[in-house]
Chain A
Amino acid sequence: MEARPQGAPAGRSGDGAPARPVADGRTEPERVAVTPAAAELLRMLTGKHGPLMFHQSGGCCDGSSPMCYERGEFRTGDSDVLLGELRIDGVPDPVPFWMSAAQFAYWSHTHLTVDTVPGRGSGFSLEAPEGVRFLIRSRLLED
């Protein structure tokens, strides 16, 4: 699998990642969005920490959850796929949402929505001390 192009996404108002054009003229479907509660949390965390990023985790314990870091804290590479750049009203920089390419191979048929729930952690994700946790809600991609 190839990493998806990281070209600047077309503008769109509201919260979420816009659909992106791909080379052959088709439109790459939106893969990731945020709920209003997650957008509010991202606004708050941006105020505290500056530009942010997500990397979707897999595995044990707090795995299968999106981890939120200061942008650049977690180094992505050729083994990762950029699923989208979340545009949040009131957050200057889009928030990129990454996943390992190997994991994406099993996730690519689903659309992800970043939500929040009351919780306790964990990993090194930035929201845990606020008593909340980012959570992925999924649905099947329609195409």
Chain B
Amino acid sequence: MSRYAAPGTDGALMSYQPRYDHWIGGSYVAPKQGGYFENPTPVTGAVFTEIARGTAEDVERAIDAAHAAAPAWGRTPPAERAQLLNQIAQRMEAHLEELAVAESWENGKPIREALAADIPLAIDHFRYFAAAIRSQEGSLSQIDEDTVAYHFHEPLGVVAQIIPWNFPLLMAAWKLAPALAAGNAVVLKPAEQTPASIHYWMSLVADLLPPGVVNIVNGFGAEAGKPLAASARVAKVAFTGETTTGRLIMQYASENLKPVTLELGGKSPNVFFDDVSAADDDFLDKALEGFTMFALNQGEVCTCPSRALIQRSHYRGFLDAGVARTEAIVQGHPLDTDTMVGAQASNDQLEKILSYLDIGQQEGARVLTGGVRAELGGELEGGYYVRPTVLEGGNDMRVFQEEIFGPVVSVTAFEDFDEAVRIANDTLYGLGAGVWTRDGARAYRAGRAIQAGRVWTNCYHAYPAHAAFGGYKQSGIGRENHQMMLDHYQQTKNLLVSYAPQKMGLF
């Protein structure tokens, strides 16, 4: 085991500034009303920096800067924008460990995940959209011999992006890379729970970005998020979060007749057919890891496989092995490279998880392991830790229907294919799902029958660029992580051109 030094301490790879203002027009700008708020690390609960408390005036200033930058940026050749995205990726790769330390300290996630997933995926995302924009083609339609319809991609202009706190840098990359590739200027609001790591990222790449192309306004949703989402001067709003705020953002967008993309979470089923247990081999081992994936990122993942559906004919054996795998999880200091589960991102998140463990047991769910706050002691005493938890119950319980956003999986049994699909689809959401079987045809049929935007088949929690990601049902609108996301950040300009000298003959 090795432990990375905490930011700002002896031997640390990076340090945070004691304060961050808003990044507007290529420089730091103090908040108009002068307010700041403290930003604690969930690792220990200690405050490590303070953040500008943005208000509508700051948002307006950022939108002004974005509008000043957007016309010239939107006219840059795709090759130039691709080059810039590749440079950002290169800069991030050169500072991968520093970014991972920053992210772990900010969010509480184990650094081994940040090193292996968050930061490499973010880097690759910039590279992917560099390639996507470089290779994007418009189209033309031959209407008749002398009439041609040309279709050009044009940027929207200035777009608003509201970033969640579970993967602060990766989710920012998912939104920034396509928006910038498409030629938009961005006003980005990080989550108030995790506002700092994006500023460390900006410190690495600021010199690459033309002033005003990326602006960061910090603050609370009610004070900075709302004026950004409600602004008539942004061409589009992209949001990852929950359903009520998603509806509110759509409501604001409807007032301005602007498009939105929304990613609003899920209650993803992870379906284990009985042939998974037909042999004690690598595949069974992989499936048990797939079961345990509910604990990835402390369960703070929109696609957390938080409902495990296990076929009754191998139910007890598979579940016992899954509980054993869960109990083997190493929980501890997020900056230890052996730690698999770190801290929940905030105190209110911790409290919400504990409230669900309570109602789940009131409803009759049985706690097979975990079920309590983890008291890790020492410097972690003030941090927000929950024991990875396996609950057993029925799909009508609230712990099977609501996103707990913690390291909690709710397990139930099914008899056959039809019941598996029925339970899997008995949810308001449809973002992710998992299907595990050695039978390719069964995997195909289950994957097509489950109403979710992504069905991991004999895998889970992989997020490669070039695989579309987005929700069915109440899980949202739009598809990220794929070149089709460019469509969400572009207008289509049609030039309908006549090359005929003759008049139409109507007048």
CB of A135 within 8 Å of the partner chain: yes
Contacting pair A100 B359 (CB below 8 A): no
B428 touches A102 (CB 8 A): yes
Among candidates A60, A67, A106, residue contacting B265 with C-beta atoms closer than 8 Å: A60
Question: CB of B58 within 8 A of chain A?
Answer: no
- Bound Cα distance A135, B192 (Å): 17
| Complex CA–CA separation, A140 to B363 (angstroms) | 7
Decide yes or no: A58 and B222 within 8 Å by CB, A124-B245, A136-B355, A139-B362 being known contacts: no
Interface extent on A, as a size class?
35 or more
Interface size for B (C-beta < 8 A) is 54
- With A106-B401, A135-B352 as known contacts, state yes or no: A61 contacts B428, CB within 8 Å: no
Chain A residues, CB < 8 A from B113: none
A140 to B362, CA, bound (A): 7
Q: A60-B264, A75-B251 are in contact. Are A124 and B351 (CB under 8 A)?
A: no
The tally of CB-CB contacts under 8 A between chains A and B is: 167
A83 shortest CB reach to chain B, Å: 14
Give the residue name and chain of the A residue nearest to B219 (CB).
Answer: A129
Which has the most chain B C-beta neighbours within 10 Å: A58, A75, A102, A137?
A58
B347 on interface, CB distance cutoff 8 Å? yes
Query: Which residues of chain B come closer than 8 Å to A122, judged between CB atoms?
Result: 165, 191-193, 220-221, 241
Complex: chain B residue closest to A55, CB-CB: B244
Q: Is the CB of B243 within 8 A of A58?
A: yes
| Contact partners of B247 in chain A: CB under 8 A | 74
Q: A121 to nearest B CB, angstroms? A: 5
Chain B residues with Cβ below 8 Å from A55 are 244
Partner pick for B192 among A73, A117, A121, CB 8 A cutoff: A121
Tell yes or no: A46 within 8 A of B by CB. Answer: no
Q: How far is the CB of A117 from chain B (nearest CB, A)?
A: 4
Give the shortest distance, in Å, between B106 (CB) and chain A (any CB). 12
Contacts of B248 in A (CB 8 A): 69, 73-74, 123-124
- Complex contact B348–A126 (CB within 8 A): no
* Nearest Cβ on chain A to B239's Cβ, whole angstroms: 10
Would you list which residues of chain B between 406 and 461 have a CB under 8 Å from chain A? 428-429
Complex CA distance for A110 and B346, rounded to whole angstroms: 26
Give A55 to B429 CA distance when docked, in angstroms: 18
Contact of B347 among A61, A75, A107, A120 (CB under 8 A): A120
Q: Is the CB of A63 within 8 A of B346?
A: no
- B358 touches which of A59, A69, A73, A137 (Cβ 8 Å): A137
11 contacts between A and B (CB under 8 A): A57-B242, A57-B243, A59-B475, A60-B403, A61-B191, A110-B398, A121-B348, A122-B221, A122-B241, A123-B242, A128-B221
Using a CB–CB cutoff of 8 Å, the interface residues on chain A facing chain B are: 55-65, 67, 69, 73-75, 100, 102-103, 106-107, 110, 117-126, 128-129, 133, 135-140
